[in-house]
Amino acid sequence: MAKIDELIEIMRRLRDPQGGCPWDIEQSFETIAPYTIEEAYEVAGAIEDEDWSGLKEELGDLLLQVVYHARMAEERGLFDFGVVVEAISTKMIARHPHVFGDAAAIGNAQAQTIAWEEHKKRERAAKQEAAERQVPGRKNGLLDDVTRALPALLRAEKLQKRMASVGFDWDSPERVLDKIAEEAGEIVEAHAAGASHAEIEGEIGDLLFVVANLARHLKVDPEAALRVTNAKVIRRFRWIEAALAAAGRTTSEATLEEMEALWQRAKKEAR
């Protein structure tokens, strides 16, 4: 606990109007939020690379973000770091009655996931009741609290999970595959008809949304799947660059046909 207290004190001094860091003093929730998101991705990247030394550093950077936001909240009289810790501790204990309470033990991860979702439903219902007490007649929609700041692909998956919780979902991956074909066809038709940029954008968004749904049905994390593909593309393109460099050439000097042939060779080499 002494170490976290030290970090909290460091942040207090950095934000001190009389002797702190000018850059840190100027920051706000809005300006720091993008860094928070970036640091979370840095953590994911270190895990993906199995860079355990790097992960230690990235987790520290992410922890700093929590301390930063808590300090700004404390300055406004909203809450402090201790309240943040207390809130998540209370939530985790409440969500795991089979560990911390008298509920029967849960046998496996799948059963735990079901129990977790049921608990979150009760939490949402409690939030609805609180909202109605504050503003009589106010109704929160099922999707209202799905965080807007999430990456679009991840948010699409969460929206679909939430709708599926009330039965609004396809009953098989095959139905989703049919929908993917339908949405892809609509893009082809829109492009052929000279549709506007906004219309094409909408059609592509529809396709991506359904692809995210297919991933959910097949129990694939779409963000993780795309990260894997991004890494694969980088490896293959590096192979192309290396092959061209060995011949004394660069990618800017190669034709599309040459690079495509090298791409196919890179795929074979990977196998």
CATH 3.40.1620.10 fits 152-220, yes or no: no
Alpha-carbon gap, residue 99 to 110, rounded angstroms:
16
Evaluate if residue 65 carries a pLDDT over 80: yes
Residue 195: per-residue pLDDT: 96
pLDDT in tens, 244-271: 999 999 999 999 999 999 999 999 887 7
Alpha-carbon gap, residue 10 to 5, rounded angstroms:
9
pTM equals 0.65
Neighbours of 129 (CB within 10 A): 11
CB 81, CB 74: distance < 8 Å: yes
Ramachandran category for residue 255: left, alpha or beta (phi over 0 → left; psi -120 to 50 → alpha): beta
25: Cβ contacts below 8 Å, ≥ 6 apart: 14, 15, 16, 17
Residue 135: per-residue pLDDT: 62
Residue 15: per-residue pLDDT: 97
Q: Does residue 33 sit in helix, strand or coil?
A: helix
Question: What does pLDDT average to over the chain?
Answer: 89
Alpha-carbon gap, residue 183 to 210, rounded angstroms:
8
CATH class assigned to 2-95: mainly alpha
Pull the structure tokens for residue 159.
């929206």
| Closest by CA position to 151, among listed 27, 251, 38 | 38
Residue 106: per-residue pLDDT: 65
Residue 128: per-residue pLDDT: 66
Alpha-carbon gap, residue 173 to 178, rounded angstroms:
9
pLDDT in tens, 135-164: 666 667 888 888 887 888 889 999 999 999
Residue 146: per-residue pLDDT: 85
CATH 1.10.287.1080 in the chain, residue ranges: 2-95, 152-220
- The mean pLDDT value for 178-193 works out to 97
CB 153, CB 215: distance < 8 Å: no
- The mean pLDDT value for 193-213 works out to 96
Q: Does residue 149 sit in helix, strand or coil?
A: coil
Residue 261: per-residue pLDDT: 95
- The mean pLDDT value for 194-215 works out to 96
- The mean pLDDT value for 25-50 works out to 92
Alpha-carbon gap, residue 182 to 205, rounded angstroms:
13
Percent of the chain past pLDDT 70, that is, above it, reads 87
